[in-house]
């Protein structure tokens, strides 16, 4: 393992300390837990609060999307592990200002169990909590089992659009409705070229030959749908974009936002090669691209690979996507 770390067991705490030291005007630690962060002006009076959370190793997911127009707070677990219930409860209490809290996070088993228990504990203290889970990865389950799908980079559109809706002063029910619309409108697919190494484990999360890639692999190394020889950027972009387009299905005349995301080790130049071809495929189907995002939005340590995400927009989603937002980690399109 070749990494710039100190103690693998202190990796998460020291990362949080570095982030707080670098961005003290944007983020602060949640009282009573070392694994919770919130926007520096939280709780915001009269505003529905957004809480998210998940394992470390995916920056800017999850803690990179805390700020005005985004989430209010986040609970952080070990690398690829769920946050604790105690951390989730502490974050919820810290950001709640009386208008209720929405838990918005990825559809993973450990996170679901802990967030559900945290919600029950908070509701016993008269904090109203609602939950919406992103599930945008089209290859992780067929359309008829959509509820079983995992989340990948589509989380970005959830945070950006739902965060803006909450910032507008919408009620908890209205914010939940917007979040469910984003989930219903967002689809993703990824490809992996090489694994990552979890510091506390010290070995690759999976193996791939030097000339191999795996289409559809998840951000924790979950199995994809096809392993084979490395293809060209155009071939990979075509397969992923066509699969995403067919799943909703997106139709000619739709207006969409597009995200080409690096899993950590794939450089911007290669992302723009993918975007070039994805743009051709999308517009070739008669869709209009309202806004494009290219860069690191949901990573998996130093894993090489990328994902393509489309979000179908109506006027509400477009207004919220275009609304101001700020985080030290956010790349605006």
Which residues carry out catalysis?
A: 58, 220
DSSP secondary-structure letter at 303? Answer: B
Q: Which residue has the tokens 């995200």?
A: 259
Strand 255-262 versus strand 226-229 pairing type: unpaired
Q: What is the C-alpha separation between 249 and 182, in angstroms, rounded?
A: 15
Q: What is the C-alpha separation between 289 and 313, in angstroms, rounded?
A: 10
Q: What is the C-alpha separation between 71 and 187, in angstroms, rounded?
A: 21
Give the dihedral sign, CA 224/201/194/218: positive
Strand partners, 101: 49, 129
225-236 CB burial, b ≥16 within 10 A, e <16: eeeeeeeebeeb
Could you tell me the end-to-end alpha-carbon distance of the chain, in angstroms, rounded to an integer? 35
Residue 314: CA count within 13 A, CB half-sphere: 6
| Phi, psi of 319, deg, nearest 5 | -60, -45
Overall residue count recorded for the chain in this entry: 333
DSSP secondary-structure letter at 317? Answer: H
Strand 304-313 versus strand 186-194 pairing type: antiparallel
What tokens does 66 get?
Answer: 């805390």
């Amino acid at each position: 393992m070749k990494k710039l770390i100190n103690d693998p067991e202190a990796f998460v705490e020291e990362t949080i300390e570095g982030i707080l030291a670098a961005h003290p005007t944007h983020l602060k630690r949640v009282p009573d837990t070392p694994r919770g962060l919130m926007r520096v002006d939280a709780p915001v009076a009269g505003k529905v609060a957004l809480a998210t959370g998940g394992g470390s190793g995916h920056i800017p997911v999850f803690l990179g999307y805390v700020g005005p127009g985004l989430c209010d707070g986040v609970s952080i677990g070990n690398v690829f592990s769920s946050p604790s219930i105690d951390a989730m409860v502490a974050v919820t209490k810290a950001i709640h200002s009386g208008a209720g809290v929405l838990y918005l996070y990825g559809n993973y088993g450990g996170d679901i169990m802990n967030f559900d228990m945290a919600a029950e504990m908070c509701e016993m203290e008269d904090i109203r909590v609602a939950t919406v889970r992103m599930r945008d990865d089209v290859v992780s389950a067929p359309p008829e089992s959509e509820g079983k799908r995992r989340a990948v980079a589509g989380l970005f559109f959830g945070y950006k659009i739902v965060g803006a809706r909450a910032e507008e002063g919408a009620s908890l029910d209205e914010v939940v409705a917007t979040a469910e619309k984003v989930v219903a409108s967002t689809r993703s697919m990824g490809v992996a070229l090489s694994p990552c190494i979890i510091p506390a484990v010290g070995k690759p999360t999976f193996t791939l030959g030097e000339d191999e890639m795996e289409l559809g692999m998840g951000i924790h190394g979950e199995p994809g749908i096809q392993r084979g020889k490395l293809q060209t950027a155009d071939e990979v972009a075509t397969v992923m974009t066509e699969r995403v387009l067919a799943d909703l299905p997106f139709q000619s005349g739709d207006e969409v936002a597009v995200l080409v995301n690096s899993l950590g080790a794939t450089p911007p130049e290669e992302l723009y090669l993918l975007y070039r071809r994805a743009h051709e495929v999308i517009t070739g189907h008669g869709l209009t691209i309202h806004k494009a995002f290219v860069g690191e939005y949901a990573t998996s340590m130093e894993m090489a690979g990328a994902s393509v995400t489309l979000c179908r927009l109506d006027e509400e989603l477009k207004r919220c996507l275009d609304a101001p937002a700020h985080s030290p980690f956010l790349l605006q399109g």
